[in-house]
Amino acid sequence: SQQGEEDPQALSIQEGENATMNCSYKTSINNLQWYRQNSGRGLVHLILIRSNEREKHSGRLRVTLDTSKKSSSLLITASRAADTASYFCATAGQGGSEKLVFGKGMKLTVNP
Amino acid sequence: NAGVTQTPKFQVLKTGQSMTLQCAQDMNHNSMYWYRQDPGMGLRLIYYSASEGTTDKGEVPNGYNVSRLNKREFSLRLESAAPSQTSVYFCASTGRSNQPQHFGDGTRLSIL
């Protein structure tokens, strides 16, 4: 069963604007990860945030985690056409197996 | 550095045929995973191998078998393919806890 749910399911913005994607999950986690998938390709890891962390940055990416609300957000600042892709959140449960449970994904379109 | 390599990239089978999907990683990772991705469903875990010599079922294991041949290789076998197994299959690997998974480019499998 899907653990994470991304919101919105699709987002279309202009180049230079910021894009925010939200993820909600149901059970306790060890970490939460965000991935990007370009059309026809495999998933590429963006950011991993541990359950005891609240915010992480990587370049133009900012991820927040609120374990009390079981939610996370991914912010892409100053978006580019190359950011057009599907984005997935995935949660790793407690227990150490690192099995990931993925959300259904969100399609981001950045118009030049 | 190839990362995670999957073969073949595309395959068409007839119902009832058997097939093995191959996956190899060159990152000395302990854990390996097989996922399937269907439209609108995100990725779902089929089987995983936490370490060489061990395999465990994921969310959707029915109709599949796996073999962890050695530390590098993890294969997925369809014994009697069914149209419901038409999907894109991804292999992934990871080294330690709280580390991201690295994905291959996928195998696109159609069963007629």
The per-residue pLDDT for range B21-49, each reduced to its tens digit, is: 999 999 999 999 999 999 877 899 999 99
Long-range contacts of A53-62 (CB under 8 A, 24+ apart): A61/A34
Q: How confident is the model at residue B85 (pLDDT cuts 50, 70, 90)?
A: very high
Q: What is the pLDDT of residue A96?
A: 64
Instruction: Check the CA dihedral B18-B24-B29-B35 and report its sign.
Output: negative
- Mean pLDDT, residues B78-99 taken together: 94
Amino acid making up residue A50 = R
CA distance B87 to chain A (A): 12
Task: Name the residue with tokens 């987002």.
Answer: A11
CA-to-CA distance for B18 and B64, rounded, in angstroms?
A: 10
Beta bridge partners of A71: A24, A66
pLDDT number for residue B96:
80
pLDDT at A97: 65
pLDDT at site A93 = 86
- Here the tokens at position B105 are 């480019």
Please report which confidence band the pLDDT of residue B111 belongs to, taking 50, 70 and 90 as the band edges: very high
Q: Which of A2, A42, A99 sits opposite B58 (nearest CB)?
A: A99
Q: What is the pLDDT of residue B74?
A: 98
Average pLDDT over residues B51-72: 94
Sign of the alpha-carbon torsion through A76, A82, A85, A89: negative
Nearest to A2 among B42, B58, B99 (CB): B42
Inter-chain touch B43–A42, beta carbons under 8 Å? no
- A36-40, B80-84, B96-100: which range is least confident on average? B96-100
The interface residues of chain A toward chain B in range 89-108, judged by CB-CB distance below 8 A, are 90, 92, 96-105
pLDDT for residue A98: 77
Q: Is A38 on the interface with B (CB under 8 A)?
A: no
Q: Dihedral sign, CA of A84, A89, A90, A94? A: positive
Predicted confidence (pLDDT) at residue A3 exceeds the cutoff of 70 = no
User: Is A73 within 8 Å of A81 (Cβ atoms)?
Assistant: no
Q: What integer is the mean pLDDT of A83-89?
A: 96
Residue B27 corresponds to which amino acid?
M
- Write out chain B residues lying below 8 Å of A98, CB-based: 31, 50, 94, 97, 99, 101
Question: Is residue B53 less than 8 Å (CB to CB) from chain A?
Answer: no
Integer Cα distance of B22 and B11 in angstroms: 12
